[in-house]
Chains A and B, each alone.
Chain A
Amino acid sequence: MRPSPRLGPMWRLGPMWMPTAPCAFTSFPLNRMDPVPSSVRLTVREAVHTLSSSEDGGCIFSTLGSLKRYLGGTENPALPGEQEEFARVHFSAVLRCLVSKLNPDWLGLLPNGQLEELWASFFLEGPADQAFLVLMEALEDTPGPSFRLMKMARLLARFLKAGRMAAVMEGQCRQQAELAFPLLQEALLIKVVGLPDRLGNCLQHENLAEFFPQNYFPLLGEEAVRVLQAVVDSLRGGLDCSVSFVSQVVGKACVYGRQKEILGVLVPRLTALTQGSCLWQRVCWRLVECVPDRAMEAVLTGLVETAPGPQVLARLLGNLVLKSKKARFVMTQKLLFLQYRYTTPVLQSLLGYLAMDSQRRPLLVQALKELMETWGSSSAIRHAPLAQQCYVSKAVLICLAHLGDAELQDSRDELLASLMAGVKCRLDSSLPAVRRLGMVVAEVASARIHPEGPPLKFQYEEDELSCEMLALATPQPAADSPSEAGPPVAPVAAEAPDKQTVEGGVPQVRPQGSDSELDSDDEFVPYDMSGDQELKSGKVPMYVRDCVEALTTSEDWERWEAALRALEGLVVRSPAATREVSVELAQVLLHLEEKTSVAGFEGLRQRALVAVTITDPARVAEYLTSQFYAINYSLRQRMDILDVLALAAQELSRPGRFRRTSQCGSPGPTCPPSCTVAPTWRAVVDERIRRKTRRFSKGSSRQGPAGSPNEFNSVAGYFFFPLIQGFDRPLVTFDLLGDDQLVLGRLAHTLGALMYLAVNTTVAVSMGKALLEFVWALRFHGDTYVRRGLLSAVSSVLLSVPAERLLEDLPDELLEARSWLADVAEKDPDEDCRMLAVKALLLLEKLKDKLLPLSPP
């Protein structure tokens, strides 16, 4: 129940938090502790009476003027004792009375807004905390939108603009700890930090820009700096001060998620002010120390993110991590292990801060140990998202760059054990990114932890991430590393990726035979001739059978290589001859080993195998799929089989394949194998013809691509079913459900691809059914790569099997798949898995949309 505004809030019992609370009873007429009313009390009582009853502008003006004397600052101020009593006891009552009188008629009693100006001056010049509280209370009590509400909102904006918020906070800082009123502070804190929310609620659409959080919190930051400046000044003057209220304000603002706004102002100013001033540094340390525990995390993360580097962070925080348990937990645990959204510079600031002081270095060593432990834990590798693994790896590398050899030696065994475990698990992973992460960290860390041993060296493709990580491993400039530890050696400086240009286009050597005539010939700059190699044309076999023979028996490596290079072209050109030896050829190619260093061997072999498979799909596919589950093959060979099958299926199912092959094949043996250049000139010629041709009508001249049967249709079964049947029967050397999960993942992807390529074929339905069963059996597989394969396989089923058939033949499977997909989309630790699941769900939705228009009559 709100009191009726007509009674006036001045008669209400002051709320508990009022600064006058201990004296509240003295302001009440029935108080007996102070039998003789002071002159101030009499004046105030009279003035309040005049204000509430009088309609005479002049009278009100003079009354207010007499009250104004108690605020000081006029030509005839009241005695200091009286001023103090007024401020302490009567001020908020007067303010409330003033608020209650606020309406257009009252303000209009005197011309030119004199009354309003006088009225506002009480709020702007009186004690700031009371004025602020009364204003906030009145704002929240006033129903809006109304004249009074807007007037007060504008007054509050003026209050903020006049820098009174600094006065509010400063007032709290100046109070001695024992004299502070915790409840009042709490109320002030809530209102100071919650101002944007409260004003937003009161004013709704009429809200002023000053109260928007993005404007208010930077202002609050500025005011906090001014308060700190005042604190520093009074400390210099020998006065004791406390910054705890500012700490609380900053802390609460950070908890409200306004780190960027408030710290974005505060940190740069403090960075500049703490430079070279011990007093400022101490004030700043004290400011962070006084942040309540529950706000510590918000403030620290904000500071670490905003501070431009470890030096600044150290200046702002001091040895906070040693003094505050909460801070230590946040800095060494939470930011390193529980969160991973921070950027690399933030991580560098954080760890650099720990490394900069000898007292804090033990924490860094401890952090490295724990980081390594996490890095080496196989369960973390399996269940943590890749981004977090990157984050931890980066942290490890940064720690290593900061720590000296002596510090590392002390915990060497522990670190090595974790490192080895982590490398092993990572190299086993089926995700290339995880493997690469393991290799990079292993190379760098082993060189640091075990410098005397032989250096580890992996072969991995350098990408953005690995380059970034290698850069992290090189230590920061000497200013960062503490002098007592000595500059850490750079273990990987030599491995930094500096690609030397092997051959420049411009020759350095002047031609020897240049005679006296110096004409402009020397401007002829040679082109790059590095590709000019010897041509091994003499030994190229001309027939497929010759190739087979050369590949199996030849000891002449040039002939062997020439045969390998020529094989794809020969197979394409002579399909009949190939069919006679297709299986034999596939066998030879599958078992082919790279005996000499042939550039692009893998590609040549794969293309040849694909060509053979396309030429004689049924028999070769049957052979290859049977070999996939045979013993005595390496994982590499099995994965090659899968790749070849997928590529051949893709080629077979490509529309318009017939046309191309017939065009290409017609000139007989004269067609060069490099048909790749043909399309460019063909396009050029076509374009030229088109440009020079004038058409009188555009009738049916433009035809779409001629329809042709999907060649994959008749052979899809040979590709698909033998592959999907044997995955759960482990062999001695090959256990798909055990260690060979990489191949299982590839198998799932390949089956998905085959399914996708079998679109519009007659076997698609039974393939889809088998594939959904396969997916169902493996849906909880622990390996990310396998799960990705399964998810893409589900998508292929949804894309390839006609919607009607899906619904008729596989309704249960679809329902099961749907619930599983929803589960994965929500909970899977891998981002790609979640994405794939969402895509599959979308396909399911589309399926529903496609079927729904049919069902309603």
Chain B
Amino acid sequence: MPRRLNSSLDTDSCGRQGSPADDLAVAEVPSGKAAAFLQPPVGHSTPAFVQGRDLKLCLWDLAEGRNAVVDSVGLESVGFCRGSILARGQQRWMLAVPGGGSDENRLDLAPAQINLFSYCQIQILEMPSKTSVCTLKPEADAKPGMPMCLELWQTDSSPRPCLLAGYEDGSVALWDVSERKVCSRIACHTEPVMGLDFDSQKARGVSGSAEKALAVWSLDEQQALQVRGKHELTNPGISDVKIRPDRKILATAGWDHRVRVFHWRTMKPLAVLAFHSAVVHCVAFAADGLLAAGSRDHRISIWSLYPRS
């Protein structure tokens, strides 16, 4: 499946007349049983991380036309949450995935509690060794629900990786991974947070949820999150939010079958891309600014808009 995506990405352009942006290429993904999410490979020789619904996260070697699974990690959570990857040097990655992993408390708990409790946790793994670094557990009194989306990041100045997690109760939490504690936590939404993205330069982030609004929040010097504003949408439900690498615009994947594009600084709506006929699951920007959107209608659309000069 990632092959298919790649092949549709490098095809030559064929503009569709009449749509607001040039929709460059559309390829249909055959329906398969294992719906999967792609974690984009960073760099050329790195493997692609593919998280499957079959509770496996596989590493694919795609270099030089190969397509083979080189490694896989077993996962615990079958939820909606996608993992997050952070490069930690040459061929080393930090991986955040939902689920408890090998939790030491597990044995003390009844099976029902295991499930409940472990699903609130986030596991941090070191790749490719697959060693568990730590498990991030919410505090005992907090009941945030399951993590719904994860975003690992790291500032250039400090080596300490941070993790932003959106939870089922609509809150976004900032974890300090090395200290295994929550630095800050804000309630952005009333519905589960479905997607978030963070601009580490401006220290601002955006999250989308099942409700009818986007939330923009910022991180101050004291590592505290603050809600900056909410932006009403026409239809409820956002499954994914991505900021373009140049931090000029952001795109959301909507349950209303549409991709919305906003100006990142001002949050001014710029475009509504109505092409798909079912829920849009994910959006992604390529390094050159192309926008890809994947939808339940078995199509991936590639868009070129506001080209980077």
Measured CB to CB, the residues of A under 8 A from B are: 507, 511-515, 517, 520-521, 524, 526-529, 531-535, 537, 667, 670, 672-674, 677, 680-681, 684, 688
The reply to whether A534 and B234 form a contact with Cβ atoms under 8 Å apart is: yes
Near A by CB (< 8 A), chain B positions 82-121 give none
B272 touches A532 (CB 8 A): yes
Residue in B closest to A535 when the chains form the complex, CB atoms = B256
Task: Say yes or no: B31 contacts A667, CB within 8 Å.
Answer: yes
Of A511, A534, A535, most buried by chain B (CB within 10 Å of CB) is A535
* B185 within 8 A of partner (CB): no
A677-B309 Cα distance, complex, nearest whole Å? 31
- In the bound assembly, the distance between CA atoms of A527 and B21 in angstroms comes to 8
Chain B nearest Cβ from A159, distance in angstroms:
68
Whether A526 lies near B271 (C-beta < 8 A) is yes
- A521 proximity list for chain B (CB < 8 A): 248, 263, 265-266
B56 located at the interface, meaning its Cβ lies under 8 Å from any Cβ of chain A in the complex? no
Q: How far is the CA of A517 from the CA of B202 in the complex (A)?
A: 12
When chains A and B are docked, how far (Å) is the Cα of A537 from the Cα of B297? 15
Find out whether the CB atom of A529 lies under 8 angstroms from the CB atom of B271.
yes
**Are A681 and B266 closer than 8 Å at their CB atoms?**
no
Provide the residues of chain B in CB contact with A528, threshold 8 Å. Answer: 20
Question: Are A684 and B14 neighbours in the complex by a CB distance under 8 Å?
Answer: yes
Taking the closest CB of chain B, its distance from the CB of A756, in whole angstroms, is 33
B178 interfacial contact with A, CB 8 Å: no
Question: How far, in angstroms, from A521 to B297 measured CA to CA in the complex?
Answer: 33
Minimum CB–CB distance from A398 to chain B (whole Å) comes to 42
Question: What B residues does A688 contact at CB under 8 A?
Answer: 11-12
- Which one of B27, B257, B272 has the greatest number of beta carbons of chain A within 10 Å? B272
Contacts of A681 in B (CB 8 A): 26-28
Interface on B for A, CB 8 Å cutoff? 11-12, 14, 16, 20-21, 25-28, 31, 234-235, 248-249, 255-258, 263, 265-272, 274-275, 277-278, 297-298, 305-306, 309
Known A-B contacts: A511-B263, A521-B265. Give 13 more (CB < 8 A): A514-B266, A524-B248, A524-B263, A526-B269, A527-B305, A529-B271, A529-B272, A531-B274, A667-B31, A667-B298, A670-B298, A672-B297, A684-B14
B227, chain A: closest CB distance, angstroms:
15
* Bound form: Cα–Cα A553–B303 in Å: 43
Q: Which residues of A contact B28 (CB under 8 A)?
A: 681
Please state if A513 and B265 are interface contacts (CB–CB under 8 Å): yes
The dominant DSSP class at the B interface is loop
- A525 to chain B minimum Cβ distance, whole angstroms, is 8
Residues of B within 8 A of A677 (CB): 275
Question: B269 near A515 (CB under 8 angstroms)?
Answer: no
B234 touches A533 (CB 8 A): yes
Known: A511-B266, A527-B270, A673-B277. A532 touches B248 (CB 8 A): no
Select one of B27, B268, B275 contacting A526, CB under 8 A: B268
Total A-B pairs, Cβ < 8 A: 72
Smallest CB gap from A678: residue in B: B28
Chain B residues whose C-beta falls within 8 Å of the C-beta of A511 in the assembled complex = 263, 266, 268
**Set of chain B residues within 8 Å of A670, measured between Cβ atoms:** 31, 297-298
Bound complex: CA of A507 vs CA of B270, how far in Å? 10
Q: List 21 interface pairs A-B (beta carbons < 8 Å), by A numbering.
A: A507-B268, A511-B266, A512-B266, A513-B266, A513-B267, A521-B266, A524-B248, A524-B249, A524-B268, A524-B270, A526-B270, A527-B20, A527-B21, A527-B270, A527-B305, A534-B256, A535-B257, A537-B256, A672-B278, A681-B26, A688-B11
Would you give the shortest CB distance from B239 to chain A, in whole angstroms? 14
A532 touches B234 (CB 8 A): yes
CA distance A520 to B307 in the complex (A): 13
Interface centre among B255, B256, B257, B267 (most CB of A within 10 A): B256
Q: How far is the CA of A643 from the CA of B297 in the complex (A)?
A: 33
CB neighbours of A534 from chain B (8 A): 234-235, 256
Residues of the B chain whose Cβ atoms lie less than 8 Å from the Cβ of A520: 309
Which A residues are in CB contact (< 8 Å) with B263?
511, 521, 524
Chain A neighbourhood of B266, CB < 8 A: 511-514, 521
Distance A514 CA – B268 CA, assembled complex (angstroms): 10
Measured CB to CB, the closest approach of chain A to B90, in angstroms, equals 34
Minimum Cβ distance to chain B for residue A851 (Å): 48
What's the Cα separation between A419 and B100 when bound, in Å? 87
B264 CB to closest chain A CB (Å) equals 8
Chain B contacts for A517, CB-based, 8 A: 265
A524-B306, A526-B270, A680-B16 are contacts. A532–B298 as well, Cβ < 8 Å? no
Contacts of A535 in B (CB 8 A): 234-235, 256-257
Min C-beta distance of A570 to chain B, whole Å: 14
Contacts of B278 in A (CB 8 A): 672
Which residues of the other chain, A, contact B309 by a CB distance below 8 angstroms? Answer: 520
Shortest CB distance B210–A (Å)? 13
If the complex has contacts A515-B265, A524-B263, are A531 and B297 also in contact, measured as CB distance less than 8 A? Answer: no
- Tell me whether A514 and B258 are in contact in the complex, defined as CB-CB below 8 angstroms, given that A524-B249, A684-B14 are known contacts: no
Q: Considering the chains assembled together, what is the distance between the CA atoms of A514 and B297 in angstroms?
A: 37
A670 to B276, CA, bound (A): 13
User: How far is A444 from B7 in the complex, measured between Cα atoms in Å?
Assistant: 63
Residues of chain A contacted by B265 (CB below 8 angstroms): 513-515, 517, 521
Task: Report which residue of B16, B266, B297 has the largest number of chain A beta carbons within 10 angstroms of its beta carbon.
Answer: B266
Cβ distance A529 to chain B, nearest Cβ, rounded Å: 5
Closest Cβ of chain A to B32, distance in Å, is: 12
Which residue of B has the minimal Cβ distance to A515?
A: B265
Q: Report the minimum CB–CB distance from A12 to chain B (whole Å).
A: 85
How many Å from the CB of B194 to the closest CB on chain A? Answer: 16
**CB nearest to A667 among chain B residues:** B31
CA A81 – CA B23 in complex, angstroms?
101
Q: How far is the CA of A512 from the CA of B257 in the complex (A)?
A: 29
A681-B8 Cα distance, complex, nearest whole Å:
12
CB-defined contacts of A680 to chain B, threshold 8 Å: 16
Kindly state the separation between the CA atoms of A795 and B247 in the bound complex, as whole angstroms. 66
Question: In angstroms, how far is the closest chain B Cβ from the Cβ of A542?
Answer: 14
Q: How far is the CA of A538 from the CA of B11 in the complex (A)?
A: 36
A323 CA to B297 CA, complexed, in Å: 83
CA of A529 to CA of B269, assembled, Å? 9
User: Given the complex, which residues of B lie within 8 Å of A527, measured CB to CB?
Assistant: 20-21, 270-272, 305
Q: Compute how far the CA of A532 lies from the CA of B20 in the bound complex, rounded to whole angstroms.
A: 13
Min CB gap B128→A, angstroms = 36
Shortest C-beta distance, B105 to chain A (Å), equals 41
